[in-house]
Amino acid sequence: MTDPIARPIALAHVRVTVTDIARSKAFYQQLFGVDPAMDFSEHAGEPGITEDRERLYGGCIFPVGDQLFGLRPVAPSGQRFDPDTVGLDHVSFMVGSVDELHEAAARLDAAGVEHGEVTDLGDAGMVILSVQDPDDINLELAAARS
């Protein structure tokens, strides 16, 4: 093994590309139960915003523990996520317990959001709950098996 170029200790942030910032922002607000920490989505559609890094390209950023999860509204309308192409396969968010996964499934049901079953991944030592965001991006809520 060679010396690494860098030794990351955590992810700083993940940002996904979305087609409709208002719809996606509302979905993630409901999923996470928090408002974005930074939000320039009201500027989406303004000339030059999709090139403006300082205004997050017209997107927003949610706090997720010590990391950040962002939305960037530059995908063409009607485009859908495809986990089988080069790039992102899914994003997995840790929660505190398996009980929280079951509670999340019940809240998703109450909100009318389709999702998978709470699933034990066996030797991986994790239990997951899968859900698709409005652009069909694969999301997982995950907990360590107790």
CATH number of the domain that residue 8 is part of: 3.10.180.10
Q: Which among 54, 76, 98 is the end of a domain?
A: 76
Q: Which among 21, 45, 76 is the end of a domain?
A: 76
pTM: 0.89
| Residues 57 and 105 grouped into a single domain | no
Number of domains present in the structure of the chain: 2
Q: What is the mean pLDDT of residues 57-63?
A: 95
Range of the domain at 125: 89-146
| Residues 42 and 97 grouped into a single domain | no
| Residues 7 and 53 grouped into a single domain | yes
Give the model confidence (pLDDT) of 4-26 as tens digits: 878 887 788 999 999 999 999 99
Q: What is the pLDDT of residue 3?
A: 84
The pairs formed by 56-65 with CB atoms below 8 angstroms and a separation of 24 or more are: 58/21, 59/15, 59/18, 59/21, 60/21, 60/25, 60/36, 61/13, 61/15, 61/36, 61/37, 62/28, 62/29, 62/32, 62/34, 62/36, 62/37, 63/34, 63/37, 64/32, 64/93, 65/94
On whether residue 106 sits in a domain, the answer given is yes
Mean residue pLDDT across the chain: 92
Q: What is the pLDDT of residue 27?
A: 96
Q: What is the mean pLDDT of residues 96-101?
A: 94
Q: What is the pLDDT of residue 79?
A: 87
